[in-house]
A and B are shown apart, each in its own frame.
Chain A
């Protein structure tokens, strides 16, 4: 921990994602992964985070007209937020179900939109929050804590 100083080191990475911008998702994941490796996080944690970022960014690229991925890292953990403008999600519970997808045929043809993204993200995160308004947009927030035991509520 940082000693007597009240200063907490933190970094924020932001990525803009346009409609059908599938390549950016992979790039986001790689960039963050490289950063986290340099910070010295354990491999399994990095892997979980990379999956969250990739899937979340992919969701924006597939379903929204534009959006942003924000990755915030501090000594306790990492918060991944995506905020987009787009179709929104009608039924969140249904959307969370494995295999449920509203992706178009073309997108599925490309090998994306298999309906596993959201459930995958939830599985990989310690904290998961999803909020959406139809025809307005969606906000997703996923947290991963660096200390294994630390779960929701224990921080702060």
Chain B
């Protein structure tokens, strides 16, 4: 496997070395060293919690920019379903879709439409599924990366399908290549993303060898430009209808939308990475076997809560719902037979298994790992248990782990250090009290006669 790329990175200029992010990170992937946060690359799942949490906005998501469009002859924008919730009430879908032409795209393809295909595929898959339940959604890459690290044995229960982003890129490029007669390599497909995890997913895809997505551009980077071009459609008097997705796919923008689309008998939808963790703990213990499908989203509220979005997640959600009410009721673009046909071809089935990543292990050898664990417990017990984070590790246990791994010292703990200083101070005081015999008033104690006895 090539080196693990990450979208979430640190703006060292802005980082004040506080401990907010290390305490919030669900996989304990951040440490503060030399006054700056450091992301432990192999642990980070790109969930974006630290981006939300950082009071200094020092955590940033690196995404592609519009400049990358120049590398291709023909460019297609793939806006995420949640994108449409970022605008004011009176905006309509056609205006938003048409605005992409204004910022340099030749075409726009709604990821919501691809979501409907994935939804149908998962629906059919569940109808014949005989394996362990519940089946998990494969749509949120941050959740899948969390499972790789912390819940590896649940990976086999992930629905084996590509993400709507990936499906959208493939469909859009094939279709455009056919229509305009340009080779696929010269067509660029750019996902307009609410989250950093999709950037990582494009670079290191989990369920396919190579991603058809050519770039992932953060919503935050193009939002202002899109706003400027919202009126373009009215000016040019275009009558062409660009919208093809219905409420089924559009609702994937917030939590529960996917479950509705998949329409299994029993579904459960959970959002927010910390909530996802508590649910997965439960499922790992063997609970919830009566549930058919579990939709998990790392961001609270689902993709509308993505850290690169502009609107507050609740505002985004209500705006998207409003749009769905106004424009979601149209007839489906693909007929039921067409959808079943696509599923029968297995075109969008995952081709790669999602592999576990055992990065929590202390040592490859069980005996040695046990020895380290013994020492780890010992150190943890000696630490104050304040979990203050002043040492730069998220809690006392994590510091003990870092000590075992050789990347920290016990004296990094301020309380421990204070204890040591106290002992030292007392010793100094004791030493100061000792007066050499030559100077002391030792007439009684140190009589020469006593000494020589």
Contacts and interface: CB of A to CB of B under 8 A. Distances in A.
Contacts of B356: 43
B206 to A, nearest CB: 18
Contact of A75 (B150, B360, B364, B366): B366
A37 B360 contact: yes
B285 A40 contact: no
22 contacts: A9-B367, A9-B371, A9-B373, A11-B377, A26-B281, A26-B282, A29-B285, A33-B284, A37-B361, A38-B362, A40-B362, A40-B363, A40-B365, A43-B356, A44-B153, A46-B153, A50-B285, A51-B285, A54-B285, A54-B286, A73-B370, A75-B370
A75 B367 contact: yes
B285 A26 contact: yes
B189 to A, nearest CB: 36
Contacts of A73: 370, 373
Nearest to A54: B285
Interface residues of A, number: 27
Contacts of A74: 370
A104 interface: no
Contacts of A102: none
A54 B284 CA distance: 11
A68 interface: no
Interface of A: 1-2, 9-11, 26, 29-30, 33-35, 37-41, 43-44, 46-47, 50-51, 54, 73-75, 146
B152 interface: yes
Nearest to A35: B373
B285 A38 contact: no
Contacts of A51: 285-286
B358 interface: yes
Nearest to B362: A38
B374 A10 contact: yes
Interface string B373-391: 1101100000000000000
- CB-CB nearest 5 A-B residue pairs: A9-B371, A40-B361, A9-B370, A43-B153, A75-B367
Contact of A9 (B282, B284, B285, B374): B374
Contacts of B423: none
B25 to A, nearest CB: 16
A33 B152 CA distance: 12
B104 to A, nearest CB: 47
Interface in B379-406: none
Q: How large is the interface on B (under 10, 10 to 19, 20 to 34, 35 or more residues)?
A: 20 to 34
A30 B153 contact: no
A95 to B, nearest CB: 20
Interface in B335-377: 356, 358, 360-367, 369-371, 373-374, 376-377
Contacts of B363: 40
A30 B281 CA distance: 7
A47 B370 contact: no
Given A2-B371, A43-B153, 14 more contacts: A10-B374, A11-B370, A26-B285, A29-B285, A34-B360, A37-B358, A39-B373, A40-B361, A40-B365, A40-B366, A46-B153, A51-B285, A51-B286, A54-B285
Interface string B3-29: 000000000000000000000000000
B366 A11 contact: no
A142 B374 CA distance: 22
Given A26-B282, A38-B362, A50-B285, A1 B370 contact: no
Nearest to B369: A39
A156 B339 CA distance: 61
A50 B285 CA distance: 7
A38 B361 contact: yes
A40 B152 contact: no
Nearest to A3: B367
Contacts of A54: 285-286
Contacts of A47: 153, 284
Nearest to A47: B153
Contacts of B365: 40
A12 to B, nearest CB: 9
